Amino acid sequence: MTLSNPAIAAASGVILAGAYLIDPSALPFVAAGVAATWARVLFKKTAVKTPPMDPKEYRKFKLVDKVHCSPNTAMYKFALPHEDDLLNLPIGQHISIMANINGKDISRSYTPTSSSDDVGHFVLCIKSYPQGNISKMFSELSIGDSINARGPKGQFSYTPNMCRAIGMIAGGTGLTPMLQIIRAIVKNPEDKTQVNFIFANVTEEDIILKAELDLLSQKHPQFKVYYVLNNAPEGWTGGVGFVNADMIKEHMPAPAADIKVLLCGPPPMVSAMSKITQDLGYDKVNAVSKLPDQVFKF
């Protein structure tokens, strides 16, 4: 007689262990063992994994890859503690990086360019400045070195169809929160949000992930990108100089109750864009942006 289910076997007064039948008098002990085994199985299936990153406590993450994508900008890939870990960062939020530099603890916030469902790692896009603190520290990292990070943090968290249209203005690595949102929108067939992105850089070589942005705009009509360069090459067909009111009027959704404008970039640029958008009839940018704001600065 073959009894593949221990519970059925126990109810029948016998249980098969290897090739032997257990004496019914031992059933209480066998039943306890079976119950313990099933409890462990169920616990493994239902236990909630500890998130790889904590919003309050800094944890170490090891650098496993580094790829330059412009003369002074690189993609840094960091391993999560386990190969099957997910960062699960809410779309539009960022993480904080802390380092001790010249005896002082200094922190900066960065939005990963990797998607929240990428398995086992996250990627940061960092532009290095000669006089920078954290950015210079990144440029000096070698494979195997670790950083201290915590998160998520931030006031913005994107949800599908939260508004009819989104206008984005970014400069340089200010691309990163925009890219997360753009990717989330275009890969969700139920999300009908229209996205218009003005992306400003100094030179064409400085445009981060241009190939991906161009491909996304070709494949998804709901997403349009307009590049602006301070130093444009001969034959350049995009914008030239600084982002101005005429560019915003032409390439951004008009002020309305069901749109949002997102800003991210160097502080002088964000300050200038805040004034121009207000002059064009968009809501005034608050000192600290909140999710309900029409114009949100990261």
Assess whether 226 carries a catalytic annotation.
Answer: no
Dump the DSSP string for 59-124. EEEEEEEEEEEETTEEEEEEE-SSTT-B--PPTT-EEEEEEEETTEEEEEEE--SS-TT-BSEEEE
User: Which residues are within 8 A (CB) of 228 and not within 5 positions of it... i.e. 6 or more apart?
Assistant: 198, 199, 200, 201, 238, 239, 240, 241, 242, 243, 247
pLDDT at 131: 83
* Residue ranges covered by each domain of the chain: 6-46, 59-153, 165-297
Contact assessment for residue 226 and residue 247, using Cβ atoms and an 8 Å cutoff: yes
**pLDDT confidence tier of residue 18, bands split at 50, 70 and 90:** very low
pLDDT digits (tens, 9 = 90+) for 158-206: 999 999 999 999 999 999 999 999 999 999 999 999 999 999 999 999 9
- Rounded to two decimals, the pTM is 0.81
Does 83 carry a binding-site annotation?
A: no
Q: Which of 189, 192, 182, 22 minimizes the C-alpha distance to 115?
A: 182
Catalytic residue among 110, 158, 226, 282: 110
97-121, pLDDT tens digit by residue? 999 999 999 999 999 999 888 999 9
- The reply to whether 156 sits in an annotated binding site is no
Q: Is the pLDDT at 47 greater than 90, yes or no? A: no
Residue 257 backbone zone (phi > 0: left; psi -120 to 50: alpha; other: beta)? alpha
DSSP structure class, residue 226: E
pLDDT for the residue 38: 56
- DSSP classification of residue 54: -
Q: Is the pLDDT of residue 75 over 60?
A: yes
Q: Active-site residue 111, yes or no?
A: yes
pLDDT of residue 39: 53
Q: How confident is the model at residue 50 (pLDDT cuts 50, 70, 90)?
A: confident
CATH label, 59-153, candidates 3.50.50.60, 3.20.20.100, 2.40.30.10, 3.40.50.1370: 2.40.30.10
Q: Beta strands 146-153 and 239-240: pairing type?
A: unpaired
Which residues does residue 119 pair with via DSSP β-bridges, in sequence order?
A: 86
| CA gap 196, 162 in Å, rounded | 15
pLDDT of residue 141: 96
Q: Helices (DSSP H) in 163-228: which residue ranges?
A: 175-186, 210-219
pLDDT tens, 258-285?
999 999 999 999 999 999 999 999 999 9
pLDDT at 25: 53
Asked if the 165-297 domain carries CATH number 3.40.50.300, the reply is: no
Q: Quick check: is 163 catalytic?
A: no
Share of the chain above pLDDT 90, in %: 78
Residue 196 annotated as part of some ligand binding site: yes
The mean per-residue pLDDT over the stretch 237-248 comes to: 98
